[in-house]
Structure 1
Amino acid sequence: MIINFAHRGSLTEAPENSLPAIKKAIEHGAKAIELDVQLSKDNHLVVIHDHHFKRFNPSINGLVRDYTLAEIKNIDIGSSFSKEFEGTSLTTLEEVLEICPEDTLLNIEIKNIPVIYEGIEEILVNCLRDHNRFQNIIISSFDHHALQKVQALEPSLKLGLLIYYRMVNPWEYAKNCGLNLTSVHPLQTWTDQQFIEEFHNLGLKVYPFTVNEEKRYKELIDLGVDGVFSNTPSIFTP
């Protein structure tokens, strides 16, 4: 079965990674949703991709980690998207878990590069434990040390290996890195048949990112991928 992830929610219809974007993806019937988490100054899991607020609100200086959750909640991230979403603020992972159906596969990416959030793995695992949400969860990251820490804290959680740059025999790395992986998430531009077949031979799913053109999507499906991350509702809608 092909599983397509709504990348940062339905980000073409609402501010990315916001509750409205998550809700719109759910309304579309998305079977899987991807989002990013970072830590506020007071160690709350904030759902945001960038380490700063410039794309949402250029008047806000500094990094996510420089602000408390209360301060972050007062930042308008919706007006830059459209007047309809004026006053929309960032959400927390807890708020997403409260509205996201348990049968929706949720990919949570730890945004640990270039800013390193010490302890984010334990905070994330505890949050999921508090909400009894270890099922239908994939934890992914470009920081593979973060995945190692998650695995040590809760071995039952599924792990997704994010890869941006081309590597020599990345399947050998995945096989020998000590991570109990479920899937690999490569940049779609260089994902090819050998890559897919080698990872399938390891028993891993292959979910390339970010696939927004239906022509490329069909090419990747023909090559054998198990799904994609996409900003295009027609792709992530079943």
Structure 2
Amino acid sequence: MLCVHRLFSVFSPATRWSRPVVGAALTAGLVLSAGAKQPLKNAKAPAEQVEQSATSSRNTSSRATLSTGKEGGRYELTPERRALLNTIRYAEGTWKDGEDKGYRIMYGGGQFQDLSRHPERVIVKRYTSAAAGAYQFLPKTWKGVAKELKLSSFEPRHQDQAALHLVERRGALKEIDRKGLTRNAMAKLAPEWASFPTWTGRSAYGQPVKSPQDLASFYSSNLRQLRNQLGA
């Protein structure tokens, strides 16, 4: 469920982008390891090759971006943090199988193209909201965090950094680093994202909410995939 509640809270909250060097290397290793250098006798049929390529792309898009380089920003993207970000996207309805198009989503499901800035477009669809991006930032929330972190655009890596900053501000980042997405961490994030449950299991804003079990299951499964990609 997209977070329309952020209209009422200053603390509330999708073009390709240049992935960090390590993330790009990881993606290249995963996708190219079965490339043209293999013996001809092991070649797959064309249809099977296309299917495998599509599957590989789905499995590595976004989810494979784990580490940061000099341009990565304040927060390192560990497997635990990437799994958290993916879980927030899952809860907010912007997961899109891990594809980058999730970073271009506006409230209501529409897409925008310009990632140089927040679209700041008010959408009326059951509710009224200008939330946008993978983590459904409101313009006011985005401007504040972007200024604090010195983020020059709305590109995916900057959205990731901003979301982690909001998680840290809610006092949940260290706990998730140590213990994973606990029930207590979910409750801490509930005021930030309406799709996360409070201790009562409900949304802090009376909106549809994901269950603790659903979020924990997605987080655990995604974390396993990320660790397997790294051979951890």
Q: Do Structure 1 and Structure 2 share a fold, with TM-score over 0.5?
A: no
So what's the TM-score if we normalise by structure 2? Answer: 0.29
Higher relative contact order (CA 8 A, sep 6+): 2
More helix by share: 2
Greater Rg over alpha carbons, structure = 2
